[in-house]
Structure 1
Amino acid sequence: MTSSGVRGSNFSIGGEQAEADPLLKEAFYESDDYRTVLSKEDPRCFVIARTGSGKSALLQHLEEEHAEHVVRVAPEDLSLSYITNLGIMRYLDELEVSLDPLFIALWKHVLLVELIRHRYSVDSYAAKMNFLTSLRDKIKRDPAKRAALDYLEEFQDRFWVEADERVREITEKFEEKINREAKGAFGVSDNPIGTATATIGGGLADTFSTETRRELTDRFQRIVNETQMARLNKMLKVLDEDILESRQNFTYVVIDDLDRDWVDERVANALIRCLFRAVLDLQRVRNLKVIVALRTNIFENLDFGHRTGGQEEKFRSLSLHMRWGPAELRDLVSGRLRIASAKQGVQSSSISDVLPRRNTTRGDAFDYMLGRTLMRPRDIIAFVNETFAMSSGADRISWEDIKNAEDSYSYKRLLALRDEWKMSYPDIDRIFSVFNGAVVPMPREEFTRRIDDAALLLADPYFRGSEWLDYLTASMWNNPGGTWADWYGPLVSLLYNIGFIGCTTGRQGTVRYVRTFPEFAERVSNLEATVGFTIHPAFQAALDVRLDGLRGQ
């Protein structure tokens, strides 16, 4: 190994995303969060974090390190979009029939079968018969368990095919029940509802009287509720006591990518909420841990309150909110630097070896860079890679390299912030743009003027965020007697909670950001007490934000 410090011009400390990170396996940082997920005793199983916080990397490493004990379920492989597009589902939705019991049963079914297939390597008819014979012999003295096992036989050979086909099988059986009910007592149609596309499209449910509608809803709701299936729930007891009965058979199920386009957005939240409820039921299986990774904004929009029978507190108690501290991120970067440098024959023990030395004017270079991130691995890895690109393989990175890299880095982070939130808030980048050229910290008057400009985007026919912006600014137009916090609070809270702005209160002028003060913007008194606002340093260069009349330091 040489000590010349010469690195290639394309040197980097790895990729920003788990699926494109060549150093993930070698340089994975085993944080406290990872150890929590790995723990067989810690019940926290919902991994909640902002994009770029390392959720996928955590699950991928778990899968690689414990391959024999991990089952991965990919949402896009479950044909759930097929289900939600069925005419019968739209029909039941028109009648306001809750489909939650059906969705919960589907999740339980998929997870149960995947666990059995994994535990017994069931990949053929012969393997299936061997498994059933062995299990029947084990539970032959328990009538309830024997009845539960009949549930597996009900699906015959299709029980063991790919997950999407099994989901379709259950849905087809459910559809048949609804069709029989509709054609029977009420004479809704001579044809199965699922095939009466034109009638459904015309709003079939709206043609009924209030009394008939209520009676239909009650009748169909009973059918939906039955899909919880007593035998399916009893199979969970078999899973606990007879399939995963030993600690050596402890199994993790990992479910990720729930933020991708795996299903129609209309029902994505309902399906995820039902997954959480299914996982809650599966907590009774002692040697099983189902781990679900989910972005923070999706988790907060799941509407647990009135749809889960008061179980919101349980979900939150089982949630692990991933957060990174400065020391952890420094260790993560230094570890990656050591491994990446060694591959090029260069010796580096820490990030301090390659950054400019601390000085009284600018302070610590890594702290400076970290202050321009949202304290996530993806941010700091991206910034460090940009500085190496600017240094062109030099022995040591200079302050000039860092400042030059900051322009490109900041622009990409602003785009990433837009991409993270654009599904919920289309054209949110138009809001960011109204702060172009701002001088920070902004007194409330200046900040208010810019927020007013943002609100005026409602008059722009090309602005695609009218629905959400109108909702957040409604008090500005309709509540003339309100306070400043009444008028501007909703939009300020959004910008604060996504990490775009910070708030200053009191004489000391301490800037509060969502990472360290996550509940700050939720209190009206805090917003009323805010005297200044600033754009987060991560985005200042991209927006040409200046501090005291100079380029943001």
Structure 2
Amino acid sequence: IVDRFLGDPRKTKAVDYLSEWEGKFWITMDQNIKEITEDVEKKLAGEFGGELAKFKGGGQYEKRLSKGQKSELVARSKKIINSEQLSTLHGVIDMLAQEARTDHHFFILIDRLDESWVDNSIRFKMIRSLVEALKSFRKITNLKILVALRTDVLERVVQETADLSFQREKFEDYFVKMKWSKVDLKKLVDLRLVELFKRQYTGEDIAFDDVFPVTIGGRKTFDWLLERTLMRPRDMIAFVNECITASDGRSEILVSDIRKAEVEFSRKRRDALEQEWRSCLPSLKRVLDFFGSFREASLSLAEMSTPALDDVALAIYTAGKIDYDPLYELAERYVEGGDEDKGALIRQIAAELYRVGAVGLKVGTGERLIYSHLDEPLVSPAILNETSVLRLHPMLHAAFRLQSRGSES
């Protein structure tokens, strides 16, 4: 790329930027951030000179600055950062956009953002910046940048970086929620079974219907299994694998094997749910324990108003404040203020259980049951009332030792 633009004085700064940073892209993110930060620090020192020395000298110098002086320092800081980093980077984007008039198309996939690639104190702010930066690259017409992001990570980004400039609605056009159909999941399971049984047995193609019983609990077996997932490949494959394990090497899986597998699958799904959402709903385990204590698959919000609510509110409150826990402040108000805040806490608990996929929801009498992985991903607590009903997702029934039913729709 650099060679292509050499000799064009209009693009000198952009080429210099590429040359400076091209060899530092694949180093660790922490080191990259450090280098950029140190570079900015040097420029700050050069710009401020004696002013910076007075800060280092102590004596609460910043408190003695006039309002005008403070404004000047802030403005000068922003000027350095913007001019040295952002404008040059925009120049690179403009330069690439001019070369987009080719038949070649490029795709960049950014994945594994849920892993520990940088310190948690800045990770979600950086993901937000990444999402915002995608808009700048739209001018490069033959380039598509795809960012794979789990729902819980996106929710944490929204919670932890919430301000007037970052609103979910502004970015909805950039989000594509990945959904798998029943047909797609069936094909995927069949392909996995073909490979598994081809290696172990006759070499012939084996499909789901050749291995599993036709029905279970009055339902087609595949539908019964599917109801106990969040319609994701990893859920379905994990359940099928548990069934195969429970069959103890037999070529045919029995209903009893599936029932046995359900218990282990459900337990693991609850553990996974708590782990996946821990970053943006730290109190999920306590809330699930609270729901499970009723020993019922369905509960109205009115039925959740029990002494057990006092216990879960106190547990959340005494665990200490975590800024991104949406239940903490409501639990605090309820513990310190009394019954007038009980309804708000119950509605928020219901909305959070729905958001993570642990329950389905009937907002009002006569309305259909909805799930976040099939319908709207979020519901506002404001639309809920005492007659709203929560129904535990079938994938968690065995984890709570509830009697499995045929259809939960």
TM-score of the alignment, normalized to the shorter chain, above 0.5? yes
SS at match of 2:389: strand
In structure 2, the partner of 1:378 is: 234
In structure 1, the partner of 2:6 is: 136
- Distance of 2:118 and 2:106 partners within structure 1: 27
Amino acid at match of 1:277: E
Which of 197, 212, 222 in structure 1 is aligned with 2:79?
A: 222
| Kept after mapping to 2: 8 A contact 1:497/1:514 | yes
Q: How many residues align?
A: 395
- Identity level (%): 28
- Distance of 2:254 and 2:215 partners within structure 1: 11
In structure 1, the partner of 2:136 is: 281
SS at match of 1:502: strand
Which of 4, 23, 31 in structure 2 is aligned with 1:160?
A: 23
| Kept after mapping to 1: 8 A contact 2:109/2:146 | yes
Query: How many Å apart are 1:232 and its aligned residue?
Result: 3.0
Query: How many Å apart are 1:489 and its aligned residue?
Result: 1.3
Alignment of 1:177 onto 2:43: yes
In structure 2, the partner of 1:112 is: none
Alignment of 1:240 onto 2:97: yes
In structure 1, the partner of 2:118 is: 263
CA offsets, 1:31-50, max 9 Å, x none?
Answer: xxxxxxxxxxxxxxxxxxxx
In structure 1, the partner of 2:174 is: 318
Which of 347, 353, 358 in structure 2 is aligned with 1:489?
A: 347
Classify 1:167/1:424 alpha carbon distance in 2 versus 1 (closer, same or farther; 3 Å): closer
SS at match of 2:369: strand
- Distance of 1:456 and 1:167 partners within structure 2: 40
Alignment of 1:358 onto 2:224: no
SS at match of 2:218: coil
Query: How many Å apart are 1:413 and its aligned residue?
Result: 0.7
In structure 2, the partner of 1:413 is: 269
Classify 1:284/1:458 alpha carbon distance in 2 versus 1 (closer, same or farther; 3 Å): closer
Alignment of 1:540 onto 2:400: no
Classify 1:547/1:233 alpha carbon distance in 2 versus 1 (closer, same or farther; 3 Å): closer
Query: How many Å apart are 1:171 and its aligned residue?
Result: 3.2
- Distance of 2:342 and 2:50 partners within structure 1: 60
- Distance of 2:86 and 2:368 partners within structure 1: 56
CA offsets, 1:232-276, max 9 Å, x none?
Answer: 32222322334x55223x222221121222222222222111112
Tell me, which stretches of 5 or more residues in structure 1 are unaligned?
1-115, 117-130, 192-198
Classify 1:293/1:314 alpha carbon distance in 2 versus 1 (closer, same or farther; 3 Å): same
- Distance of 2:378 and 2:50 partners within structure 1: 57
| Kept after mapping to 2: 8 A contact 1:428/1:465 | no
Amino acid at match of 2:39: K
Amino acid at match of 2:75: D
Alignment of 1:327 onto 2:197: no
Amino acid at match of 1:318: Y
Query: How many Å apart are 1:169 and its aligned residue?
Result: 4.4
SS at match of 2:89: helix
In structure 2, the partner of 1:48 is: none
In structure 2, the partner of 1:392 is: 248
| Kept after mapping to 1: 8 A contact 2:299/2:391 | yes
- Distance of 1:146 and 1:479 partners within structure 2: 64
- Distance of 1:253 and 1:340 partners within structure 2: 33
Query: How many Å apart are 1:384 and its aligned residue?
Result: 0.6
Query: How many Å apart are 1:515 and its aligned residue?
Result: 2.1
In structure 1, the partner of 2:312 is: 454
For the aligned residue pairs, the C-alpha RMSD in angstroms reads 3.3
- Distance of 1:423 and 1:483 partners within structure 2: 25
Amino acid at match of 1:535: L
SS at match of 2:258: helix
Classify 1:313/1:453 alpha carbon distance in 2 versus 1 (closer, same or farther; 3 Å): closer
| Kept after mapping to 2: 8 A contact 1:406/1:541 | yes
Amino acid at match of 1:534: R
Amino acid at match of 1:171: T
Query: How many Å apart are 1:305 and its aligned residue?
Result: 6.7
- Distance of 2:313 and 2:341 partners within structure 1: 17
- Distance of 2:167 and 2:389 partners within structure 1: 39
In structure 1, the partner of 2:279 is: 423
Q: Which moved further from structure 2: 508-517 or 387-396?
A: 508-517
- Distance of 2:206 and 2:213 partners within structure 1: 15
Classify 1:483/1:537 alpha carbon distance in 2 versus 1 (closer, same or farther; 3 Å): same
Query: How many Å apart are 1:356 and its aligned residue?
Result: 0.9
| Kept after mapping to 1: 8 A contact 2:228/2:393 | yes
Query: How many Å apart are 1:298 and its aligned residue?
Result: 2.6
- Distance of 2:293 and 2:386 partners within structure 1: 25
In structure 2, the partner of 1:145 is: 11
| Kept after mapping to 2: 8 A contact 1:484/1:528 | no
SS at match of 2:107: strand
- Distance of 2:248 and 2:13 partners within structure 1: 69
CA offsets, 1:363-405, max 9 Å, x none?
Answer: 1111111111122111111111001011112232111111111
Q: TM-score scaled to structure 2, two decimals?
A: 0.83
The higher-RCO structure (CA 8 Å, 6+ apart) is 1
- Distance of 2:132 and 2:287 partners within structure 1: 36
| Kept after mapping to 2: 8 A contact 1:472/1:491 | no
SS at match of 1:495: helix
SS at match of 2:112: coil
- Distance of 2:25 and 2:10 partners within structure 1: 28
Classify 1:482/1:181 alpha carbon distance in 2 versus 1 (closer, same or farther; 3 Å): same
SS at match of 2:149: strand
| Kept after mapping to 2: 8 A contact 1:441/1:547 | no
Query: How many Å apart are 1:546 and its aligned residue?
Result: 4.2
Classify 1:186/1:161 alpha carbon distance in 2 versus 1 (closer, same or farther; 3 Å): closer
